[in-house]
């Protein structure tokens, strides 16, 4: 499960990076930056929901603040 979270973080960062590239290079009315940011938001929400589900199913345990 740790690897799944790492892959999701890498995907989020890659999407954010591609949106930055599209912002800097595209001077037209292209929607590639919007699509890249939409993918980033979707991955972030999916990761958050996966962590909540994993907590409910007991796959991960919250330790709280020490």
pLDDT of residue 21: 92
pTM for this prediction: 0.81
Q: Is the pLDDT of residue 3 over 90?
A: yes
Integer CA distances (angstroms), 1 to 23, 25, 59, in order: 33, 36, 9
Q: pLDDT per residue over 45-61, tens digit each?
A: 999 999 999 999 999 88
Cα distance between residue 5 and residue 50, in whole Å: 9
Cα distance between residue 56 and residue 18, in whole Å: 34
- Tell me which DSSP letter residue 27 carries: -
Q: pLDDT per residue over 10-31, tens digit each?
A: 999 999 999 999 989 887 778 8
pLDDT of residue 62: 83
Q: What is the dihedral of CA 9, 10, 12, 14, to 10 degrees?
A: 170
């Amino acid at each position: 499960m740790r690897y799944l979270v790492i892959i999701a973080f890498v995907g989020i960062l890659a999407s954010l990076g591609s949106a930055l590239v599209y912002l800097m290079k595209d001077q037209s009315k292209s929607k590639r930056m919007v699509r890249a940011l939409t993918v980033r938001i979707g991955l972030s929400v999916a990761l958050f929901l996966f962590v909540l589900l994993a907590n409910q199913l007991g796959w991960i345990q919250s330790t709280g603040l020490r």
